[in-house]
Amino acid sequence: MTAQTGYVSGESAALLWSRITSVEDWPSPGVSFKDLSGVLEHGPAFSLVIDALAERVDNAALDAVVGIEARGFPYAAALAYRLGIGFVTLRKPGKLPRAVHSQEYSLEYGVATLEMHQDALDQHERVLIVDDVLATGGTAAAAVELVLRTKTEIEAVAVIMEIPFLQGRGVLEAAGVDVIALLDASAPHEIRR
């Protein structure tokens, strides 16, 4: 892999954490949801994320960035623009008009499905999959499965934050996919409530 991994630190980490809100018992009781909307709403924080991700995949010879609906879209689209490459969407069922590949997966609070146009990726492309948070790895693993059906190489799955105790990284690494994460949710930080 040519991408670099490693969390952001210092002032960069402090800026990102200052824009993240923890929402308890959402979307279901017992879940502590990490809302990264504040990162998108703050120009310097959003720019920091895109610059940090671009830096980590600078020499990866990527052809496209694949974004997971919906929270992965703004990061993936901005990163694709920054890298001058294509952007491919993974959508919820019934949102794509052409023939699709579908993958059902489990979330920590339910079951969901992702779909991708069957012709979205050329067999010779190399892609980066992007989402906002890596928790149990179910969504990211479904994204990996969809991309692999097209015989496309995956450089890594990149996220803004990972929640290590939910072991999503292990799920992806067991499937042979590297993980790039900018923040570790278990590290000491100040978070908005």
Q: Which amino acid is at 99?
A: A
Catalytic choice (24, 41, 104, 108): 108
Long-range contacts at 97-104 (CB < 8 A, ≥ 24 apart): 101/146, 101/149, 101/150, 103/142, 103/143, 103/145, 103/146, 104/142
Nearest to 157 by CA among 178, 142, 136: 178
Cα Rg of the chain, angstroms: 16
Using alpha carbons, list the distances in angstroms from residue 176 to 12, 78, 123, 155. 29, 26, 18, 10
Q: Establish whether 169 is a catalytic residue.
A: no
Are 161 and 138 in contact by the 8 Å Cβ rule? The answer is: no
Q: Is 19 a catalytic residue?
A: no
Catalytic residue among 19, 56, 71, 169: 71
| SS3 state of residue 48 | helix
Give the residue numbers annotated as catalytic, written as ranges: 71, 108
